Amino acid sequence: MSHANKDKSQTATPVMHDPKSVAETVDWGLIPTMIEGESRTSGKLLYKGPGGSPESGIWICTPGYWDCHVTADELCHFLEGRCTYTHESGEVIEIEPDTAAFFPAGWKGTCRVHETVKKVYMIR
C-alpha cells in the first residue's frame, strides 16, 4: 500500500503553533494533594497515544503549594510564570519562563506555584 492511499488522520503530525498564546483550554480540576491554597489546572492536549502514553500538550496551574509525585517520565518547557520544586532530598529547582526540566518517574517532593505557570509537556 502506498503512502498516498493511507488515511491522512493516521499519518498527520500533531502540531501546536505558538503554544504560549493558546487560550482555549479545558479545566482539568484542582490539584488533589494541596498543602496550602487551591491550585487549579487546565490545558490542551496535543497528542495522547494508545493506552494514554505518550501524552503531550499545554498545562497551566494557578498559585498554591502541593505534594508532587511524578509517576512517569516528564519533560517540561515552562513558558510563563514562576514556581519552585523541592525534591524530598532538599534539592531546590527554581522555575521561571523559558526553563526546561526533566522529572524522572518516581520523583517526589513539593511544588510551590508563585505565579500561574504555563508549560509544554511530554509524559511517557
Query: Which CATH number characterizes residue 107's domain?
Result: 2.60.120.10
Residue 12's identity, in one-letter code, is A
Domain range holding 99? 27-123
Number of domains, the chain: 1
35 belongs to a structural domain: yes
pLDDT of residue 3: 44
Residue 86's identity, in one-letter code, is T
7 belongs to a structural domain: no
31 belongs to a structural domain: yes
pLDDT of residue 8: 46
**pLDDT tens series, the chain, 124 aa:** 444 444 444 568 999 999 999 989 999 999 999 999 999 999 999 999 999 999 999 999 999 999 999 999 999 999 999 999 999 999 999 999 999 999 999 999 999 999 999 999 999 9
1 belongs to a structural domain: no
Answer yes or no: are the C-beta atoms of 76 and 119 closer than 8 Å. yes
- List strand residue ranges (DSSP E) for 10-107, in order: 26-30, 34-37, 40-48, 55-61, 64-69, 74-87, 92-95, 99-103
C-alpha 15/C-alpha 18 separation (Å) is 10
